[in-house]
Amino acid sequence: MPHRAAPVARPGKLEDRVKILIDCGAYTGDSLPVLIDRHGPFERIICFEANPGLRLLPPPDLRIPVELHQVAVWTAAGEQRLFFGEHAEGSSLLANKTSGNLSPARSALVPTIDFAAWLEQHTGPGDRLTIKMDIEGAEFAVLPRLARHPVRRRIARLWVEWHHNRLHPAWRYRLQRRLLELRYLLAGHPIGNWRRKTMGLAR
């Protein structure tokens, strides 16, 4: 079973400088080796995965525990309906996602967090965050909220897998993507384009 961490503030003084990896939409944790190889080592690794049917399998040689939060990354704390596709591992908070054959008949209420507020509460002002975000379309809600929040200054690197071409209408989400990329670039936090296939990952 994966290590589950309660949402509590990390130990130590807030002024301590800690390198933290945050994997939003962690799936089985298969992105962790790539992220650690590129940007590690890290002193904390935090994974968010809302799909209760997925099991986190951290790299066997990892020397620190992985904090797993089985919640959906969103803009508010509460509950949202998570829609599942034909295959149990595919899911999204957005009913207008056009891939995966999502269905209200295959859905469940899952807990959500206000991601920006969570970061403010559970990381310190001096921390440097590497964030990977693959949240099946929810990035178009989460990223604007994060851009407005002062906690964005803690971001060292931001990787996003975009899903504009899997949402309806695609042209609107494509425009939103470009505007978000420009907004983050001007703020000094350019968004890297995370793509599982080009990273050598399945699915």
pLDDT score at 95: 66
DSSP code per residue over 13-76: -TTS--EEEEEES-TTSTTHHHHHHHH---SEEEEE---TT------TT--S-EEEE-SEEEEE
Q: What total number of domains does the chain contain?
A: 1
Is 202 within the bounds of a domain?
no
Is 6 within the bounds of a domain?
no
pLDDT score at 173: 94
Is 200 within the bounds of a domain?
no
Is 5 within the bounds of a domain?
no
Answering whether pTM is above 0.75, one says: yes
Domain of residue 184 covers 19-193
Instruction: Determine whether 150 is exposed, middle or buried from the number of CB atoms within 10 Å of its CB (0-12, 13-18, 19+).
Output: exposed
**Cα separation values, 39 from 19, 24, 96, Å:** 10, 16, 34
Closest CA to 95 of 79, 84, 109, 86: 84
Low-confidence residues of the chain: pLDDT under 50: 1-12, 14
For the sheet containing 72-84, what is the strand order? 91-92, 72-84, 103-114
pLDDT tens for residues 137-165? 999 999 999 999 999 999 999 999 999 88
Is 119 within the bounds of a domain?
yes
In angstroms, the CA 126 to CA 10 distance is: 13
